[in-house]
A and B are shown apart, each in its own frame.
Chain A
């Protein structure tokens, strides 16, 4: 059942969703989590397909946020589906226009499943600092994809700088089959390793993470060298005494495991589609320490584990908005950084005016004031 709402608002969506749920008879269905998908218009179909696959394995509510033209008039269109096109799950696809794109959380917050974890996934290049997006601040787990960036390795460095426990990246998820196979090959004992070599297409973030992981776990030097691809094509570990362990996957499909003194074994090692990757991500919702360690090893960042796991929303006026009003908003952004993140974001989001934050500190009052002036300029 799908209901399309044109030029609507948040409470209308909440009402429609609960009406749809009643109609479908799924009043107390077990929602394990809310998945917020941030994407753009070109990628909606792909993101929906992936979310459907993932939702088949994990009962969840899918909220797809499509941010459209910032310059347009403020408007919200929504599609509410229960057991419809997106499989046996509840989904709301929201298209946001104008300044609303900067306040997507105002629509999303009341739609989150009660007391269930929230996962936000950027199916596009994620912001340099996740805290720029309030949808990251409200999430318990944040899924980015370094491979979606123009320079994936630079994106990895950015992720490492910005890392907070609960962050994860699909480049790491793509590495799982490789890592499982390597770990399985190490079962039953090996001589002490001396060095590792990962071969992959230029700028492959997964290869970097595999190499970082091997370096951390084995305590040896590991590097990535370039190959024609596709993706990661080989991993080689050398041991004391000249023994070698090598996994080759030239075609992105079938791998050959060879080891000195053992017969070669062929194994399927398929590149997985987005839905499977996302399903793996949803399986576990706590901080992923091995990812943090691999990321730290690749980028040289330190102290990833010690960082606080919650973020505070940083208000940032997007480039391209007009004149001095934009500057005013930028100043406000700085003060907003200092104010209490989630709550401030929520209040702002709800579109209330200064009266709503009477009790708030001076700085956040200023934020609201600046914001209102920003709204007027629209």
Chain B
């Protein structure tokens, strides 16, 4: 932390590590967004940029440069951006803030294989150095399908836009998931990106890591004395990580049908949550130390020897969800009628370290489950001896610590308590810390936070390429095993297929109902 703090001061006499009122503001820079007319840019990126501007977190010299195929001028793009900001911004829309920001918005149109367009883009960037004082600093956000990466990256190499030394500032690139579709393609992609940019300038966004609760997990574990002593196999019975969505695949059939739940969600979000839950204490709270610990955990993950029983996948059938009749996966528009893609995946993993030996980590994710919820439940062992009659403690379960990532961000602690009355009876009760109860108004959107981190150059919340590759090493054997099997059907609106229940029942456990 101290090192990053010192770097953050950048030899500026007005910056002082003790002065916590001054916000972290990036140096003058440009943000170049490829695919700026796409869904992600409109729904997340542009609103996030506006919110940053509104909170005064953008430097005086800032430019947003959009690149897309549409034949537009700056004005058309400004109109689209304004619309996106008005609709998606978290903070109130203020005309004066927008007017300042829109002065700094430029648009370059062209296709990705058009040399002219990229020359124009490079030229615009150089011009912005003079008009907006961005001093050669630029972050490139690749909000485009991975298939386009090679073309765009080659163009950037050709125009020397990715070269740090060229304009005397920093050049960074932001990549969205999917980071490949298996280990091999991920390696190719990493090699390509790392070759054009230097590895420390590559920021892979996993927006779950931008969530306040996920960062709070580190505070919970490493800032307190209460939890760390029991955070190991001596006390922990098992860990369940759930990431459930109530929606179907929407209009993403084209991508989703080639990926499936394991590649889409398990490989990145869920394994990242697992690594933060299970990692050892980093020696410092900085990007390098935290990512090193995460890498160690991901490398220590073991798959169950018996995939037949401990790796389940499912596909939603038609059913009722929240009072609405919803179609089956196969009936979704764009899905081939014979598709064997999973929309639900559950697996039991182990972590081969002294801390976690023998503790199963149950991960599950799915679409069209009863509700949208992401949580990490640490389930503790039962007390080795209970001085009560067995009838007194019939309703006593395992102690649990649940970290609710979304919605209702917070922490729940479940423990036994005496039921009031003359008889001794112990039952489970919950103690709740609702993170969002009153803090939410000021906690930034994940993209807002992550975008700011990219511009500042803080990589703490971004997985590095090794983490991506190690995650694929966990997923690839599962995909291989599943390749010639059909997923089990589950009714939309249920908590997944029957065999997922059986998988835990076999171990004498049940899934927590989130």
Contact = CB atoms under 8 A, between A and B. Distances in A.
Contacts of A349: none
Given A183-B15, A257-B60, A268-B96, A57 B442 contact: yes
Contacts of B59: 184, 187
B22 A267 contact: no
Contacts of B11: 189
Interface in B72-114: 94, 96-97, 100, 103
Contacts of A177: 56
A208 B358 CA distance: 64
B469 to A, nearest CB: 36
Contacts of A265: 60-61, 132-133
Given A30-B433, A58-B438, A181-B60, A187 B21 contact: no
B100 A176 contact: no
Contacts of B135: 188
Contact of B27 (A58, A88, A188, A290): A188
A189 B132 CA distance: 16
A263 B100 contact: no
A176 B56 CA distance: 11
B7 interface: no
B431 interface: yes
Contact of A57 (B23, B28, B439): B439
Contacts of A28: 431-432
Contact of B18 (A253, A268, A289): A289
Interface residues of B, number: 40
Contacts of B60: 181, 184-185, 257, 265, 267
A89 B438 contact: yes
B480 interface: no
Give the size range of A's interface with the partner.
35 or more
A183 B25 contact: yes
A187 B94 contact: no
A98 B414 CA distance: 49
A56 interface: yes
A332 interface: no
A265 B22 CA distance: 20
A279 B442 CA distance: 10
B56 A180 contact: yes
A290 B18 contact: yes
Nearest to B94: A268
A29 B437 CA distance: 8
A219 B14 CA distance: 11
A328 interface: no
Interface of B: 10-16, 18-23, 25, 27-28, 56, 59-61, 94, 96-97, 100, 103, 130-133, 135, 431-435, 437-439, 441-442
12 contacts: A57-B441, A59-B439, A173-B21, A176-B21, A180-B22, A183-B12, A188-B10, A189-B12, A265-B61, A268-B97, A283-B20, A290-B19
